[in-house]
Amino acid sequence: MNWDDIKVFLAIANTGGLKKAAKVLGMHHSSCARRIQALELDLAVQLFDRLASGYELTQAGQELLHKSEQIQQNFHAIERDLLGKDLRIAGDLCLTIPNGFACHLLMPDIDAFLRLYPDIKLKINMTYETQNLANRDADVAIRLVDNPADSLTGKRITRVNQSAYASTEYLAKHDLVNAPQTCQWLGWGQASKHLKWSQKAKFPLIPVRTNMYSDVLQLAAVQAHTGIASLPCYLADGVPGIERIPGADVSQGPWLWILAHKDMKNNIRVRTLIEFLAKAFEKHKAKLAGDEV
């Protein structure tokens, strides 16, 4: 049994489809199909029912999935253990970071890190999705979370505070108090959560008419005079043509953490990056708090 075939099997089982699995693995879907066929021939069992809705595990597939996940977890644990003992300030290192921090705050600091440690090959995954540090989807993660998982270790930096923003032009053309239906909030996520925004509570009659799942995208929309957005202060304060809406104050945001898996805490590259980023964020604390207006 070929472990590469098992990795394809796991990807299909987790995504439910051949093309989705191929995208995750960086392979062509026809190659994935050939590997699964080869695995089924090798084991003399059918692992998936090929349905119009996708690939569904058979009973034999369910049994193999359980065993394969155990093997995969053991591989990852061995890999983390070995890497955790690596004392070289050289080699590969993956950082996952939200778009706003990468594009509007930390890029000069990241450039300084690369110049300071030229033997580190840094891969940056710019995303809001939570990357799996146990599976080494990333080595270090910058996350906005109040309570990280027990399997993680790192540094809690500060809270990332927020306020409500619109363009000066938008506010000149819209009356938030007397004509709220002519205005709009830019939403993010479930509608029920919008009501919990402290700034929206001051303008309850202004509707949420769109969803944009990125603070960087929302900032661009505010600059295009599209509507009002609840944004991190570090992202919107000081942007030409953008201001806090009348009566808006600073609301407490989530905690900013720099995290790694506990098995990687002794890895010198991981420790070096965490310490470097912690010092970088310290320089930006006033901006993160919303004190630089």
Collapsing DSSP states into helix, strand and coil, what is residue 142? strand
Confidence grade of residue 86 (pLDDT, cut at 50, 70, 90): low
Could you give the strand order of the β-sheet that contains 242-244, starting from the edge strand earlier in sequence? 229-232, 162-167, 242-244
Torsion sign over Cα 273, 279, 284, 286: positive
Distances from the Cα of 187 to the Cα of 124, 212, 245, angstroms: 27, 6, 16
Q: Which helix (H) or strand (E) holds 78?
A: helix 59-84
Confidence grade of residue 8 (pLDDT, cut at 50, 70, 90): confident
- Residue 195 in this model has a pLDDT that exceeds 60: no
- Does domain 162-244 correspond to CATH entry 3.40.190.10? yes
d(CA 185, CA 209): 6
d(CA 70, CA 60): 16
Tokens of 70: 């155990």
Instruction: Enter the CATH code of domain 91-158+254-289.
Output: 3.40.190.10
Tokens of 205: 């009659």
- Residue 263 in this model has a pLDDT that exceeds 80: yes
What are the pLDDT digits (tens) for 111-151? 999 999 999 999 998 876 665 565 667 899 999 988 888 88
d(CA 175, CA 170): 9
SS3 content of the chain, % helix, strand, coil (to 5): 45, 20, 35
Residue 144's contacts (CB-CB under 8 Å, 6 or more residues apart) are 98, 160, 253, 254, 255, 256, 257
- 91-158+254-289 matches 3-84 in CATH topology: no
In this prediction, residue 129 carries a pLDDT of 64
What are the pLDDT digits (tens) for 161-188? 999 999 999 999 999 999 999 999 998 8
In the chain, domain spans: 3-84, 91-158+254-289, 162-244
In this prediction, residue 78 carries a pLDDT of 59
- Does domain 3-84 correspond to CATH entry 1.10.10.10? yes
Name the most confidently modeled range: 129-143, 195-209, 244-258. 244-258
Q: Which residue has the tokens 């506990």?
A: 262
pTM: 0.66
d(CA 89, CA 40): 43
